[in-house]
Amino acid sequence: MSDAQTQIPVTVLTGYLGAGKTTLLNRILSENHGKRYAVIVNEFGEIGIDNDLIVESDEEIYEMNNGCVCCTVRGDLIRVVEGLMKRPGRFDAIVVETTGLADPVPVAQTFFMDDDVRTKTKLDAVVALVDAKHLPLRLKDSKEAEDQIAFADVVVLNKTDLVTPEELEKVEATVRAINPAAKIHRTQRSGVALDEVLDRGAFDLSRALENDPHFLEAHDHDHDHHDHDHDHHDHDGHDHHHDHASDIHDVTVKSVSLRGGEMDPKKFFPWIEKVTQMEGPNILRLKGIIALKGDEDRYVLQGVHMILEGDHQRAWKDGEKHESRLVFIGRDLDGDKLRKSFEACQAA
Amino acid sequence: MPTVAPLDLEGHCVAAVFLNDVPHFALADGAIHRLDNGQKTVQANDGLLAAFHDAANDRLVTGGEDGKVFAIKAGGEVNELASAGKKWVTSVAAGPQGAIAYASGKTAFVRFADGRVKEFAHPRSVEGLAFSPKGMRFGVARYNGATLHFPAAEGKPVELEWAGAHTGVTFSPDGAFLVTTMQENALHGWKLADGKHMRMSGYPGKVKSLSWSVKGKWLASSGAPAAIVWPFSAKDGPMGKAPLELGTRGNMMVTCVACHPSQDVVAIGYEDGMVIAARFADAKEVLLRRPGKGAITAMMWDKEERRVAFGSAAGDCGVIDITA
């Protein structure tokens, strides 16, 4: 029954008006990739493709009645996904296009918190379209632009032809400062290869972090080969975003990257539970690969606010260093406190 | 021993009803199949999302992805009653004097028998609709409560507030109570005379099926591994009372309930396609159908109280004859 049923992957497209979402969506709907997509939009825009499976819904944010301020879901998505899944044979995947000002968090949480939606679908990745020219301005006038980048698995840095190479470096550095874990693609006219935005498995614990060489490494000084065009990383790894933010004063999201040895599971799990309970409202995303003492498998973690998922992923390879890496992206995070308490979970 | 006349169809069954004593099955693709001296099919919505059995007019009212509302009568007569535009029609209901209501996005519409349509705009999405059994009045389930409208008169609606997302709504047959289903695995009720609240919680899953027993003495519900049946015969409804739990089955969820037209008996459909009947008085159970391919999504008793039409999420539908 429902267990055996394959879950339909869902890609969430975020980005400001004019960033290139519609162009990308038109490509997804028209290019010959052998897959059929159902698209959920909140505003009927310029989608020039005639497709029965473009569904317009009114953005409907539900706060859950459990006293948790960050437990929000999108009621419209629950309804539309349920409706679409009554006739599942019509499409292979779903794309959710959010409005420019949409908060990506309730969209993503819907796919974890609603039982019916979770049974039938799985979140594949959150893709943020960013207009290279207008990002500095967007960051000045809204929190949403920053949230969309902070929350993304993939950032498509679009309209690169409208900025100078220096401006582009600076914009990419800003994106990287907000979200060190996202994969960034520089594009013109949303010309990213579709397999870089679709079927990413970014929330799939068995694949998470595996297909992402940049995870926690872009600002890692032991791996300069990743940094060929990221020379802004030659600074202290802690509080790195402050350096970047020096000429863009509007970044409030911070990332805290932690690295340690093998963890004591008796200390680590209570710690991460407590951190997500206490700091949940401040955590937009967390991702990690944890080496547990006495465990032959890598343990992978990912979280959204207070939702935390973890599982054994695969065995450590021969010669692979058993180390633990964890990144938090959020606001008002106390990096020193997180680092100290994380390190205290290391096995003796 | 009950016998089952199966009807294997393709797709999710949204409604199983008797129209002029003929069993009809409305599927999500908009096809309406009936067992009328052989299987016959007519087409309603392109993408059927919601259906309501209009008993007074012996018809099925449907809404769907095509933004349209249809009425299906026995014999295969299909009429388009309304069109709401490009958005989905996600809820439909039928009321007195041939009126129907339908919801699209943040707007509820009432179409009177003469074809006149009245719009009721809301600040948030209209999630569920139901007419009161008395007077021209209908309720809208919405975020943070329910709204009661009086479409035949001008005047302000009545707002019933309760925090949370309300997804479906029903009136008790005597019109005294309004009950909503919620996003958070609970029912909420209001006693309309004084606005008193009734909170019915403890479900492990969302409640998607509700059925009032004869004269509205009980309200049966899905959302648990048993049919949860709340007593509504006291003047304050189920407040302070425990519900009956009928047909408890380990970890198999009840997905559909349909109360018997004249006796305190409920037909209970499960996630695995099994159907039983259970009596309120002594919780005695009778197996009506063995497990099938999909979760039971729709059931209805016929007027003679002899047959139950049922449909499932996998399309294995049929008619159970309990007297055979």
pLDDT tens digits for B5-59?
Answer: 999 999 999 999 999 999 999 999 999 999 999 999 999 999 999 999 999 999 9
Is there a contact between A52 and B271 if contact means CB atoms under 8 Å apart?
Answer: no
- Largest alpha-carbon pair distance within chain B? 55
- Of A181 and B92, the structure prediction assigns the larger pLDDT to B92
CA atoms within 13 A on the CB side of A218: 23
Q: Is A332 on the interface with B (CB under 8 A)?
A: no
Closest-CA distance of chain B to residue A270, Å: 26
Give, in order, the Cα–Cα distances in Å from A330 to each of A7, A279, A287, B94.
Answer: 29, 9, 12, 49
* Chain A residues closer than 8 Å to B164 by CB: 62, 64-65
Q: What is the ipTM for the molecules in this complex? A: 0.93
Residue reference for tokens 């940049």 = A214
Residue B198 has what pLDDT? Answer: 95
Judged by CB atoms closer than 8 Å, whether chains meet at B163 and A65 is answered as yes
Point out the residue among B125, B206, B313 whose CB comes nearest to the CB of A58: B125
- Nearest to A190, CA basis, from A10, A340, A46: A46
Give the model's pLDDT for residue A210: 61
Q: Which residues contact A275 (CB under 8 A, 6 or more apart)?
A: A283, A338, A341
Q: How would you write chain A as a 3-class SS string?
A: CCCCCCCEEEEEEEECCCCCHHHHHHHHHHCCCCCCEEEEECCCCCCCCCCCCEEECCCCEEECCCCCCCCEEEHHHHHHHHHHCCCHHHCCEEEEECCCCCCHHHHHHHHHHCHHHHHHEEEEEEEEEEECCCHHHHHHHCCHHHHHHHHCCEEEEECHHHCCHHHHHHHHHHHHHHCCCCEEEECCCCCCCHHHCCCCCCCCCCCCCCCCCCCCCCCCCCCHHHHCCCHHHCCCCCCHHHHHCCCCCCCCCEEEEEEECCECHHHHHHHHHHHHHHHHHHEEEEEEEEEECCCCEEEEEEEECCEEEEEEEEECCCCCCCCEEEEEEECCCCHHHHHHHHHCCECC
Q: Show the low-confidence residues of chain A (pLDDT under 50).
A: 1-4, 213, 218-246
**Residue B189 scores a pLDDT above 60:** yes
The pLDDT value recorded for residue A239 is 40
- Amino acid at site A29: L
pTM of the model: 0.89
CB contact under 8 A, A64 and B163: no
Closest chain B residue by Cα to residue A65: B164
Interface residue A3 vs chain B (CB under 8 A): no
Give the chain B residue whose CA is nearest to the CA of A74: B165
| Predicted pLDDT at A238 | 39
A119 in contact with B, Cβ within 8 Å: no
3-state secondary structure of B198: strand
Å between B136 CA and nearest CA of chain A: 28
Sheet holding A297-304, edge to edge: A254-260, A324-330, A283-291, A297-304, A307-315
Using alpha carbons only, what angle is made at residue A128 by residues A285 and A329, rounded to the nearest 5 degrees? Answer: 20
Taking contacts as CB-CB distances below 8 angstroms, the residues of chain B near A78 are 183
A11, A27 contact by CB (below 8 A)? no
DSSP character at residue B323: -
CB proximity under 8 Å: B 7-36 to A: 11-12, 14, 28-29
pLDDT 10s digits, B153-181:
888 999 999 999 999 999 999 999 999 99
Size of interface A-B (CB pairs under 8 A): 65
Contact A79 B90 (CB under 8 A): yes
- Three-state DSSP state, B70: strand
Distance CA A153, CA A160 (A): 20
Look at A87 and B28 and tell me if their CB atoms are within 8 Å: yes
A60 and B294: CB-CB below 8 Å? no
pLDDT tens, position by position, B210-246: 999 999 999 999 999 999 999 999 998 999 899 999 9
Residue B190 tokens, joined:
């209001």
Contact B91, B84 (CB under 8 A): no
Note whether B65 contacts A55, CB cutoff 8 Å: yes
Phi, psi of B300 (to 5 degrees): -155, 140
The answer to whether A316 contacts chain B (CB < 8 Å) is no
- Which residues, numbered 73 to 112 in chain A, qualify as contacts with chain B under a Cβ-Cβ cut-off of 8 Å? 73, 75-76, 78-80, 83, 86-87
* Facing A62 at nearest CB: one of B28, B183, B313: B183
What sign has the CA pseudo-torsion A147, A152, A155, A159?
Answer: negative
Contacts of A76 in chain B (CB under 8 A): 125
Cβ within 8 Å, pair A75-B125? yes
pLDDT for B101-141, tens place per residue? 999 999 999 999 999 999 999 999 999 999 999 888 999 99
**Beta carbons of B143 and A60 less than 8 Å apart:** yes
> In angstroms, what CA-CA distances link B262 with B257, B303, B306?
15, 10, 11
B14/A64 Cβ within 8 A: no
Record: contact A75-B183, CB cut-off 8 A: yes
Q: What is the pLDDT of residue A225?
A: 35
Q: Does B188 touch chain A (CB under 8 A)?
A: no
Tokens of A147: 């949230």
Q: Decide if B11 and A87 are in contact by the 8 Å CB cutoff.
A: yes
Contacts of A52 in chain B (CB under 8 A): 46, 65
Task: Report the distance separating Cα B92 and Cα B67, nearest Å.
Answer: 12
CA–CA dist A31, B70 (Å, integer): 36
In angstroms, the Cα distances linking B239 to A287, B193, B231 are 46, 15, 9
Closest CA to B213 of B195, B199, B231: B231
Q: What is the pLDDT of residues B301-320, one digit of tens each?
A: 999 999 999 999 999 999 99
Q: What is the pLDDT of residue A251?
A: 81
Q: Please name the residues between 67 and 106 in chain B that touch chain A, using a CB distance below 8 Å.
A: 86-88, 90, 105-106
Q: How far from each other are the two terminal CA atoms of chain B, in whole angstroms?
A: 6
The span from the CA of B55 to the CA of B47, in Å, is 23
- Measured in angstroms, the CA of A21 and the nearest CA of chain B are apart by 21
Tell if the CB–CB gap between A55 and B271 is shorter than 8 Å: no
